Amino acid sequence: MFSNGRARPAIATVTALSLLVAGLAFLHVGQFIQFDDISGFGSDDWVMPLGVLAGFTAAGSVVVASADRTARRLLGSAMMVLDLLVIWQAWTNDGFRFVWAGDEGELLYFQLALGMTALVLMTPRFYTTSTSPGSSRQTVSMSGWVRALAYVGSTLIVVFAAFFLGTAHFESTQCSGPNFDGECDVAAIAGFLWAAAAVVLMAVAVATLEVLRRRRAPARSKG
Protein backbone atom coordinates (compact mmCIF):
# COMPACT_ATOMS: atom_id res chain seq x y z
CA MET A 1 0.00 0.00 0.00
CA PHE A 2 1.42 3.36 -1.04
CA SER A 3 1.57 6.21 1.41
CA ASN A 4 0.13 9.54 0.28
CA GLY A 5 3.58 10.81 -0.66
CA ARG A 6 4.29 7.84 -2.91
CA ALA A 7 0.78 7.35 -4.26
CA ARG A 8 0.58 10.72 -6.00
CA PRO A 9 3.60 10.20 -8.29
CA ALA A 10 2.44 6.67 -9.08
CA ILE A 11 -1.08 7.83 -9.92
CA ALA A 12 0.24 10.68 -12.05
CA THR A 13 2.58 8.34 -13.92
CA VAL A 14 -0.08 5.69 -14.59
CA THR A 15 -2.63 8.31 -15.63
CA ALA A 16 -0.24 10.11 -17.99
CA LEU A 17 0.96 6.93 -19.67
CA SER A 18 -2.59 5.60 -19.91
CA LEU A 19 -3.72 8.77 -21.66
CA LEU A 20 -0.82 8.48 -24.11
CA VAL A 21 -1.71 4.85 -24.88
CA ALA A 22 -5.39 5.82 -25.26
CA GLY A 23 -4.41 8.53 -27.72
CA LEU A 24 -2.45 6.02 -29.80
CA ALA A 25 -5.40 3.63 -29.69
CA PHE A 26 -7.72 6.37 -30.95
CA LEU A 27 -5.30 7.11 -33.78
CA HIS A 28 -5.08 3.45 -34.77
CA VAL A 29 -8.83 2.82 -34.67
CA GLY A 30 -9.42 6.07 -36.55
CA GLN A 31 -7.09 4.95 -39.37
CA PHE A 32 -4.56 7.66 -38.61
CA ILE A 33 -1.89 4.97 -38.12
CA GLN A 34 -1.50 2.71 -41.15
CA PHE A 35 1.22 0.31 -42.26
CA ASP A 36 0.02 -0.53 -45.78
CA ASP A 37 -0.89 2.81 -47.37
CA ILE A 38 0.94 2.15 -50.64
CA SER A 39 -1.55 4.24 -52.62
CA GLY A 40 -0.85 7.37 -50.59
CA PHE A 41 -4.56 8.12 -50.14
CA GLY A 42 -4.92 6.64 -46.68
CA SER A 43 -6.05 10.01 -45.34
CA ASP A 44 -9.41 9.39 -47.04
CA ASP A 45 -10.13 6.75 -44.37
CA TRP A 46 -9.62 9.02 -41.37
CA VAL A 47 -12.29 9.07 -38.66
CA MET A 48 -11.92 12.70 -37.63
CA PRO A 49 -13.75 12.55 -34.23
CA LEU A 50 -11.24 9.92 -33.05
CA GLY A 51 -8.40 12.14 -34.20
CA VAL A 52 -9.76 14.96 -32.06
CA LEU A 53 -10.01 12.61 -29.07
CA ALA A 54 -6.42 11.51 -29.66
CA GLY A 55 -5.27 15.13 -29.59
CA PHE A 56 -7.09 15.81 -26.32
CA THR A 57 -5.75 12.68 -24.62
CA ALA A 58 -2.17 13.44 -25.73
CA ALA A 59 -2.45 16.98 -24.39
CA GLY A 60 -4.03 15.64 -21.20
CA SER A 61 -1.12 13.25 -20.66
CA VAL A 62 1.34 16.16 -20.77
CA VAL A 63 -0.78 18.24 -18.38
CA VAL A 64 -1.06 15.39 -15.88
CA ALA A 65 2.63 14.51 -16.04
CA SER A 66 3.82 18.12 -15.70
CA ALA A 67 2.78 18.17 -12.04
CA ASP A 68 5.23 15.41 -11.05
CA ARG A 69 8.89 15.01 -11.99
CA THR A 70 8.83 11.19 -12.17
CA ALA A 71 5.68 11.14 -14.30
CA ARG A 72 7.06 13.89 -16.52
CA ARG A 73 10.34 12.09 -17.18
CA LEU A 74 8.70 8.70 -17.81
CA LEU A 75 6.20 10.25 -20.20
CA GLY A 76 9.05 12.00 -21.99
CA SER A 77 10.91 8.69 -22.29
CA ALA A 78 7.79 7.03 -23.71
CA MET A 79 7.36 9.83 -26.24
CA MET A 80 11.01 9.54 -27.26
CA VAL A 81 10.58 5.79 -27.85
CA LEU A 82 7.44 6.54 -29.88
CA ASP A 83 9.32 9.13 -31.93
CA LEU A 84 12.12 6.69 -32.69
CA LEU A 85 9.59 4.04 -33.75
CA VAL A 86 7.85 6.51 -36.06
CA ILE A 87 11.18 7.52 -37.61
CA TRP A 88 12.16 3.85 -38.06
CA GLN A 89 8.88 2.94 -39.73
CA ALA A 90 8.94 6.03 -41.96
CA TRP A 91 12.41 5.07 -43.21
CA THR A 92 11.81 1.34 -43.69
CA ASN A 93 8.11 1.01 -44.58
CA ASP A 94 6.84 2.81 -47.69
CA GLY A 95 3.24 2.18 -46.65
CA PHE A 96 3.60 3.63 -43.16
CA ARG A 97 1.38 6.56 -42.25
CA PHE A 98 1.30 8.23 -38.83
CA VAL A 99 -1.34 10.82 -39.69
CA TRP A 100 1.01 11.85 -42.51
CA ALA A 101 2.87 9.63 -44.97
CA GLY A 102 6.64 9.37 -45.05
CA ASP A 103 6.96 11.52 -48.16
CA GLU A 104 5.01 14.40 -46.62
CA GLY A 105 6.98 17.17 -44.96
CA GLU A 106 4.43 17.40 -42.15
CA LEU A 107 5.60 14.03 -40.78
CA LEU A 108 9.14 15.40 -40.43
CA TYR A 109 7.81 18.43 -38.56
CA PHE A 110 5.81 16.13 -36.29
CA GLN A 111 8.86 13.98 -35.56
CA LEU A 112 10.91 17.04 -34.63
CA ALA A 113 8.13 18.49 -32.46
CA LEU A 114 7.55 15.15 -30.70
CA GLY A 115 11.26 14.72 -30.08
CA MET A 116 11.61 18.23 -28.66
CA THR A 117 8.56 17.72 -26.43
CA ALA A 118 10.03 14.46 -25.17
CA LEU A 119 13.35 16.13 -24.35
CA VAL A 120 11.60 18.94 -22.48
CA LEU A 121 9.62 16.42 -20.43
CA MET A 122 12.79 14.42 -19.71
CA THR A 123 14.63 17.50 -18.39
CA PRO A 124 16.08 16.63 -14.95
CA ARG A 125 15.82 20.21 -13.71
CA PHE A 126 15.06 23.50 -15.39
CA TYR A 127 17.03 25.81 -13.11
CA THR A 128 20.15 25.49 -10.97
CA THR A 129 21.17 27.54 -7.96
CA SER A 130 24.71 28.36 -6.91
CA THR A 131 26.16 30.22 -3.96
CA SER A 132 28.99 32.69 -4.48
CA PRO A 133 32.17 31.94 -2.47
CA GLY A 134 32.26 33.98 0.72
CA SER A 135 28.69 35.11 0.26
CA SER A 136 25.25 33.75 1.13
CA ARG A 137 23.66 35.17 -2.02
CA GLN A 138 22.32 32.52 -4.40
CA THR A 139 22.30 32.84 -8.16
CA VAL A 140 19.59 31.16 -10.23
CA SER A 141 20.38 30.18 -13.81
CA MET A 142 19.08 27.87 -16.51
CA SER A 143 20.36 24.32 -16.33
CA GLY A 144 22.64 22.97 -19.02
CA TRP A 145 19.87 20.70 -20.34
CA VAL A 146 17.51 23.65 -20.82
CA ARG A 147 20.19 25.70 -22.55
CA ALA A 148 20.88 22.79 -24.90
CA LEU A 149 17.18 22.49 -25.71
CA ALA A 150 16.97 26.22 -26.36
CA TYR A 151 19.97 26.05 -28.67
CA VAL A 152 18.61 23.03 -30.57
CA GLY A 153 15.13 24.53 -30.91
CA SER A 154 16.49 27.87 -32.09
CA THR A 155 18.79 26.14 -34.58
CA LEU A 156 15.93 24.13 -36.05
CA ILE A 157 13.78 27.24 -36.47
CA VAL A 158 16.60 29.22 -38.08
CA VAL A 159 17.59 26.33 -40.39
CA PHE A 160 14.03 25.80 -41.63
CA ALA A 161 13.56 29.54 -42.11
CA ALA A 162 16.85 29.74 -44.04
CA PHE A 163 15.82 26.85 -46.27
CA PHE A 164 12.51 28.43 -47.23
CA LEU A 165 14.04 31.87 -47.65
CA GLY A 166 16.82 30.48 -49.84
CA THR A 167 14.33 28.59 -51.97
CA ALA A 168 12.07 31.61 -52.34
CA HIS A 169 15.00 33.90 -53.18
CA PHE A 170 16.26 31.57 -55.91
CA GLU A 171 12.80 31.20 -57.40
CA SER A 172 12.24 34.96 -57.43
CA THR A 173 15.60 35.78 -58.98
CA GLN A 174 16.32 32.81 -61.26
CA CYS A 175 12.96 31.21 -62.03
CA SER A 176 10.75 34.18 -62.71
CA GLY A 177 9.92 36.36 -65.66
CA PRO A 178 7.56 36.22 -68.60
CA ASN A 179 9.73 33.75 -70.55
CA PHE A 180 9.99 31.17 -67.76
CA ASP A 181 7.44 28.38 -68.11
CA GLY A 182 9.04 25.39 -66.33
CA GLU A 183 9.48 24.14 -62.79
CA CYS A 184 12.27 25.50 -60.63
CA ASP A 185 13.56 22.14 -59.43
CA VAL A 186 17.02 23.40 -58.48
CA ALA A 187 15.61 25.97 -56.06
CA ALA A 188 15.77 23.35 -53.30
CA ILE A 189 19.56 23.19 -53.74
CA ALA A 190 19.80 26.88 -52.95
CA GLY A 191 17.58 26.27 -49.92
CA PHE A 192 19.91 23.54 -48.66
CA LEU A 193 22.92 25.82 -49.12
CA TRP A 194 21.24 28.54 -47.10
CA ALA A 195 20.31 25.97 -44.44
CA ALA A 196 23.91 24.72 -44.26
CA ALA A 197 25.12 28.31 -43.81
CA ALA A 198 22.54 28.76 -41.04
CA VAL A 199 23.89 25.68 -39.23
CA VAL A 200 27.41 27.12 -39.30
CA LEU A 201 26.23 30.54 -38.09
CA MET A 202 24.19 29.00 -35.26
CA ALA A 203 27.15 26.86 -34.19
CA VAL A 204 29.32 29.97 -33.97
CA ALA A 205 26.57 31.84 -32.09
CA VAL A 206 26.09 29.02 -29.56
CA ALA A 207 29.83 28.70 -28.95
CA THR A 208 30.09 32.48 -28.46
CA LEU A 209 27.19 32.57 -26.02
CA GLU A 210 28.64 29.71 -23.96
CA VAL A 211 32.08 31.35 -23.83
CA LEU A 212 30.54 34.64 -22.69
CA ARG A 213 28.45 32.84 -20.08
CA ARG A 214 31.49 31.09 -18.63
CA ARG A 215 33.45 34.32 -18.52
CA ARG A 216 30.64 36.14 -16.72
CA ALA A 217 30.25 33.43 -14.08
CA PRO A 218 33.56 34.20 -12.26
CA ALA A 219 32.78 37.93 -12.48
CA ARG A 220 29.40 37.38 -10.79
CA SER A 221 31.05 35.25 -8.12
CA LYS A 222 33.62 37.95 -7.35
CA GLY A 223 30.94 40.62 -7.32
Mean pLDDT, the chain, whole residue set: 83
pLDDT given at position 122 = 87
Q: Is the pLDDT of residue 62 over 50?
A: yes
Torsion angle, alpha carbons of 186, 189, 194, 195, to 10: 130
Residues 12 and 60 sit within 8 Å (Cβ to Cβ): no
> Would you state the pLDDT for residue 189?
86
Question: Which residues, 6+ apart, have CB-to-CB distance to 22 below 8 Å?
Answer: 57
Interval 19-49: pLDDT, tens? 999 999 999 999 999 998 888 788 888 999 9
Per-residue pLDDT at 164: 86
* 29-35, Cβ contacts within 8 angstroms, sequence gap of 24 or more: 30/54, 32/97, 32/98, 32/99, 33/97, 33/98, 33/99, 34/95, 34/96, 34/97, 35/89, 35/93, 35/95, 35/96, 35/97
Question: pLDDT grade, residue 168 (50/70/90)?
Answer: confident
**Span 67-92, average pLDDT:** 92
Region 90-100: mean pLDDT is 91
Higher pLDDT: 184 or 84? It is 84
